[in-house]
Amino acid sequence: MSRVCQITGKKVMAGNNVSHAKNRTKRKFYPNLQTKKFYIPEEDKWITLKVSANALRTINKKGISAVLTEAKANGNTLI
């Protein structure tokens, strides 16, 4: 599976390594992804999601049910 957050949609970004002499070489910035299991009490089941650290904070704040319905409403097809 690719390195994409299933809630926020964060993915790999491209950029440059810049040396002291201003030489630029291409590099990648990877999102901070974690594989976590979440329990959904409404459906009485566990789901495994690959989420960013930012998405984990959102889930802790709003709750998994609200975040999933919001992601589906925004057209997120990764879930």
Average pLDDT over residues 15-39: 97
**pLDDT mean across residues, the chain:** 94
* Contacts for 4 with CB less than 8 Å, ≥ 6 apart: 10, 11, 31, 50, 78
Q: What is the pLDDT, as a whole number, of residue 26?
A: 98
- Condensed to tens digits (0 to 9), the pLDDT of residues 55-77 reads 999 999 999 999 999 998 988 87
Q: What is the CATH number of the domain that holds 69?
A: 2.30.170.40
Give me the number of domains the chain comprises: 1
What DSSP string runs through 3-33? S--TTT----EEEEEE-TT--EEEEEE---E
The reply to whether 24 falls in a domain is: yes
The reply to whether 8 falls in a domain is: no
Average pLDDT over residues 30-56: 96
Q: Are 67 and 60 in contact (CB under 8 A)?
A: no
Q: What is the pLDDT, as a whole number, of residue 58?
A: 96
Average pLDDT over residues 49-55: 96
